[in-house]
Structure 1
Amino acid sequence: MSEGPGHVGPSRPVLVTRPAGRGDGLVTLLAQHGVVVEHRPLTRLLPVRGPEVDLARERLAAGQYSHLVLTSRTAVEAFCLAESPSADSAGSTGSTGSTGSPGAPALPASLGVPPHTQVVAVGEGTAAALAAIGIRADVVAAGSGAALVEAMPVASSTPTSRVLFPASGAASPTVPEGLRSKGYRVDQVTVYRPEPVDLPEASAQALRTGGYSAMVLTSPMIARRAAAIGIHPSTAILTIGDPTSEAVREAGLRVTLQAEEPTDAALAAVVVRALDLGP
């Protein structure tokens, strides 16, 4: 998808706004193309611990769900690798400190996914995160919430068609609403929350005055925060998917390019294209 100019020139750095602990892959890919990158997170991801999460894990282990639906690597880490209920997790962000990623995990087997429960991943990245902890995704959708809903069959008429959806506190309603429209009972539980992070003043000023050739936006919340700071018209706006692009447009801005899928490789491809660095 392209709405703005396709060539912005590589003379200025690219601003990557992914949360801490989530930008390294994209930064590495861009560096391989010779792109100068500044990684300045606009949000951080904080895991949620508490009785609701513990109860969801217990119900899953007890076989009460026909499907476990996961729509991000962060949801995998925050739920599948959640600390045991006895852990002292009040206010804790784990051993990763400022990254906001969940910390020292329990053994993956402690999640207790029953054999009859199908594990559904939104895309290949989420499926890979599951595989890394020994959980196989039975269904891998095409990378968006809408694609995940499409990949799920209409629910059976039995009361066992029940979905557990561990998600962000800022999750789009696309998945739960779509699955309910297909007849599923959906239990949504918040397992992490995005929290705003301020840009350093020098970076904010550069964003407003054209100091960046492009910026990468990877969530509606990040898009809204960037728009509130102010984005110079010469800066290409590159997005990870439809919800983020919609947030950009709602803020009165134009999307230069949208990634074909929500992966680091696809994001790197649109940066390269926008900077006209391709072969």
Structure 2
Amino acid sequence: MIAPRDHATPMASLLAGVRIAVTRTAQRGGPLADALRRVGATVHEIPLTRIESLDVAPLHAALRDLARYHWVLLTSVNAVDRLAQAVRELGLSDVMASRRLAVVGSTTAAACEAQGWRLPTVQPERMQAEGVLDEMASRSDVEGSRVLYPAAGGARDVLPDGLGALGALVDVVPVYHTVPDSAGQQRMLELVESGAVDLVTLAAPSAMDALLDALPPERASRLPVACIGPVTARAARIAGFPVKVESTAPTVEGWVRSIVQAYTTPAAGRPH
């Protein structure tokens, strides 16, 4: 639960007057939008990107030899969904259920469990790529192992490079990619130009890129953003956005708590 700053501030008015644009897709952004509304924010749901699946043939080819993999590495719910569909299509559910899993994030872990797969063997408290590498480095069953990594197209090389340095052989198979949503970009531009947005949430560098492409540079430099994770926050700062919130908690609740704190601490500036 998010605690009010004091007993005089009702939970439902903590973010009263704050207008926030949630840029995730409807399926992923809905819980964040609902949580922000519960603490009083006015929320605009404006997906700036959409997910497109890539050719499944490379993933099917890897899965036909699934038994040779010691580990399956998963870093997003999108990857879990596409892997699960391919596993079902090939009738490999029993084999998949016995693979060791390494995941980034509690949401990805929950998606694996929902598929009936074994509990992740590696699920670091520091929920980013570097956290996985730290945990894998402490194990004795990584060197010489083979890892299947269904990934986003253009994903960072941190994990395959890091695991390779630990002696693992990593097969990276792109299964989806993120593309800009032009309708969302146009709507965002209109709202920002009309002064109807005080804060924009960004969950990934791809969303930041889409936001940057949608706005004139002078608007971007004055539009506060709330980022989840250091990678997105760093990309936003490099692009020139003022980062008002950098949440290190990888959950909706933690993200909302960080936003509330940014607007309710004594020195916080609130929109007029």
TM-score bracket relative to the smaller structure: 0.7 to 0.9
Alignment of 1:210 onto 2:195: yes
Partner of 1:91: none
- Between the aligned partners of 2:212 and 2:257, the Cα distance in structure 1 is 23
- Between the aligned partners of 1:158 and 1:17, the Cα distance in structure 2 is 37
Tell me the CA shift for residue 170 of structure 1: 2.9
Structure 2: give runs of 5+ residues left out of the alignment. 1-14, 267-272
Q: Deviations over 1:159-178 (max 9, x none)?
A: 85111111111311111111
Q: What secondary structure is seen at the aligned counterpart in 1 of 2:96?
A: coil
Tell me the CA shift for residue 258 of structure 1: 0.8
Partner of 1:146: 130
Partner of 1:99: none
Q: What secondary structure is seen at the aligned counterpart in 2 of 1:275?
A: helix
Q: Which amino acid aligns with 2:27?
A: G
Alignment of 1:244 onto 2:232: yes
Partner of 1:177: 161
Report how many aligned residue pairs link the two structures. 247
Query: Which residues in structure 2 correspond to 1:151-162 (within 5 Å)?
Result: 151-153=135-137, 160-162=144-146
Cα distance change on mapping 1:170 and 1:22 into 2, 3 Å: farther
What RMSD, in angstroms, separates the aligned Cα atoms of the two structures?
2.7
| Percentage of pairs with the same residue | 28
Residue range with higher mean Cα deviation, 36-45 or 254-263: 254-263
- Between the aligned partners of 2:171 and 2:187, the Cα distance in structure 1 is 43
Alignment of 1:77 onto 2:81: yes
1:24 to 13, 20, 30: 30
Q: Flag the structure with more relative contact order, 1 or 2, with Cα contacts below 8 A and sequence separation at least 6.
A: 1
Partner of 1:276: 264
Residue range with higher mean Cα deviation, 207-216 or 170-179: 207-216
TM-score, length-scaled by structure 1: 0.79
1:66 to 70, 75, 92: 70
Cα distance change on mapping 1:234 and 1:250 into 2, 3 Å: closer
Cα distance change on mapping 1:244 and 1:158 into 2, 3 Å: closer
Q: Deviations over 1:219-268 (max 9, x none)?
A: 11111221232345554211011221121122122311111222212221
Partner of 2:112: 130
Q: Which amino acid aligns with 1:48?
A: L
Cα distance change on mapping 1:55 and 1:159 into 2, 3 Å: farther
2:45 to 36, 39, 43: 39
Cα distance change on mapping 1:158 and 1:254 into 2, 3 Å: closer
Cα distance change on mapping 1:149 and 1:159 into 2, 3 Å: closer
Q: What secondary structure is seen at the aligned counterpart in 1 of 2:257?
A: helix
Tell me the CA shift for residue 131 of structure 1: 0.9
Query: Which residues in structure 2 correspond to 1:104-123 (within 5 Å)?
Result: 110=93, 112-113=95-96, 115=98, 117-123=99-105
Tell me the CA shift for residue 271 of structure 1: 2.2
Q: What secondary structure is seen at the aligned counterpart in 1 of 2:137?
A: coil
Q: What secondary structure is seen at the aligned counterpart in 1 of 2:170?
A: strand
Cα distance change on mapping 1:177 and 1:10 into 2, 3 Å: farther
TM-score, length-scaled by structure 2: 0.81
Contact in 1 for aligned 2:23/2:48 (Cα 8 Å): yes
Alignment of 1:50 onto 2:56: yes
Which protein has the bigger helix share?
2
Partner of 1:219: 204
Partner of 2:6: none
